[in-house]
Structure 1
Amino acid sequence: MKIAILGTRGVPNYYGGFEQFAEFFSVYLAQKGNEVYCYNSHDHPYQEKDFYGVNIIHQYDPEYKLGTFGQFIYDYNCIMDSRERDFDIILQLGYTSNSIWHFLLPKKSIIITNMDGLEWKRTKYSNPVQQFLKFAERLAANSSDFLISDSLGIQKFLKEKYKKNSTYIAYGAYPFSNPDENVLQEYKVEKEKYNMIMARFEPENNLDLVLEGVAMNEDKTPILVIGKHQTKYGEYLKNKFKDHSNIRFMGGIYNLEHLNNLRYFSNLYFHGHSVGGTNPSLLEAMASRALVIAHNNDFNKGILKENSYYFSTPNEVKNILNTIKKNDNLQLVQNNFDAIINEFNWEKINGEYLQLFEECMAKSTKRKQKP
Structure 2
Amino acid sequence: MKIAILGTRGIPNYYGGFEQFAEFFSVYLAEKGHEVYVYNSHNHPFQEPVFHQVNIIHKNDPEHKLGTFGQFIYDYNCIMDSRKRGFDIILQLGYTSNSIWFFLLPKKPVIITNMDGIEWKRSKYSRPVQQFLKFAERLAAISSDFLVSDSLGIKDFLKKRYGKDSTYIAYGAHPFENPDASLLQQYQVESGKYNMIMARFEPENNLDMVLEGVVLSGDVTPILVVGKHETKYGKYLKDKFREHSHIRFMGGIYNLEHLNNLRFYSNIYFHGHSVGGTNPSLLEAMASRAFIAAHNNSFNRGVLGENAVYFSNPQEVKNILQSIKKNDNLQLVQHNFESIVNDFNWEKINGQYLQLFHECFSGTKKRN
How far off is 1:300 after superposition? 0.2
Match of 1:223 in 2: 223
Alignment of 1:106-185 (within 5 A): 106-185=106-185
Q: Deviations over 1:51-102 (max 9, x none)?
A: 0000000000000001100000000000000001010000000000000000
SS in 2 for 1:182: helix
Matches within 5 A, 1:163-242: 163-242=163-242
Residues 110 and 364 in structure 1, CA contact (< 8 A), matched pair in contact too: no
The one-letter amino acid of 2:184's match is: L
TM superposition outliers: structure 1 runs of 4+ over 6 Å: none
SS in 2 for 1:274: coil
**CA shift digits 1:2-58 (9 cap, x unpaired):** 000000000000000000000000000000000000000000001111100000000
Q: What corresponds to 2:271 in structure 1?
A: 271
8 Å CA contact 2:6, 2:93 repeated in 1: yes
**TM-score, normalization: structure 1?**
0.98
1:304 aligns with 2:316: no
Alignment of 1:34-113 (within 5 A): 34-113=34-113
Match of 1:8 in 2: 8
- The superposition leaves residues 170-191 of structure 1 with CA deviations (integer Å, 9 ceiling, x where unpaired) of 0000000010001100000000
List alignment gaps of at least 5 residues for structure 2. Answer: none
Gapped regions of structure 1 (runs ≥ 5): 367-371
Q: Equivalents in 1 of 2:74, 2:192: separation in Å?
A: 43
| Distance of aligned partners of 1:108 and 1:364 in 2 relative to their CA distance in 1, 3 Å threshold | farther
Matched residue type, 2:175: P
Task: Tell me if the contact between 1:151 and 1:168 (Cα under 8 Å) persists in the aligned partners.
Answer: yes
Contact persistence 1:3–1:88 (CA under 8 A): yes
CA deviation after TM superposition for structure 1 residue 364, in Å: 7.5
Q: What CA deviation, in whole Å up to 9, does each residue of 1:95-142 have, x standing for no partner? A: 000000000000111100000000000000000000000000000000
Quote the residue 1:26 is aligned against. Answer: 26
Q: d(CA) in 2 for partners of 1:96 and 1:192?
A: 40
Alpha-carbon contact 2:112-2:145 (below 8 Å) kept: yes
- Following the alignment from structure 1 to structure 2, what is the Cα–Cα distance between the partners of residues 18 and 105? 20
- The residue number in structure 2 matching 1:369 is none
**1:298-352 CA deviation, whole Å, 9 max, x = no partner?**
0000000000000001011011001110000000000000000111000000000
Contact 2:2 2:89 in 1 (8 A): yes
1:362, distance to aligned residue in structure 2 (A): 1.1
Partner of 1:327: 327
Contact 2:41/2:60 (CA < 8 Å) preserved in 1?
yes
User: Aligned equivalents of 2:101 and 2:261: distance in 1?
Assistant: 41
What is the rounded CA distance, in whole Å, between the counterparts of 2:345 and 2:310 in structure 1? 24
Counterpart amino acid of residue 121 in structure 2 = K
The SS at the match of 2:181 is coil
Rounded to whole Å, the distance in 2 between the matches of 1:214 and 1:135 is 39
Question: Residues of 2 paired with 1:205 and 1:111: CA distance?
Answer: 31
Q: Contact 1:196/1:225 (CA < 8 Å) preserved in 2?
A: yes
Corresponding position: 1:280 with 2:284: no
Q: CA deviation at 1:147?
A: 0.3
Measure how far apart 1:365 and its partner are: 11
Aligned 8 A contact 1:10 1:39 in 2: yes
Determine helix, strand or coil for the equivalent of 2:322.
helix
Letter in 1 for 2:138: R
Q: TM-score, normalised by structure 2?
A: 0.99
Whether the 8 Å contact between 2:7 and 2:93 is mirrored in structure 1 is: yes
Matching residue's letter, 1:289: R
SS in 1 for 2:270: strand
**How many pairs were matched up?**
366
Deviations 1:211-264 (A, max 9, x none): 000111212000000000000000000000000000000000000000000000
Question: AA paired with 2:80?
Answer: M
The CA distance in 2 between the partners of 1:46 and 1:364, in whole Å, is 38
Instruction: Let me know the Cα RMSD of the aligned residues.
Output: 1.0
User: Are 1:87 and 1:109, in contact at CA under 8 Å, matched by a contact in 2?
Assistant: yes
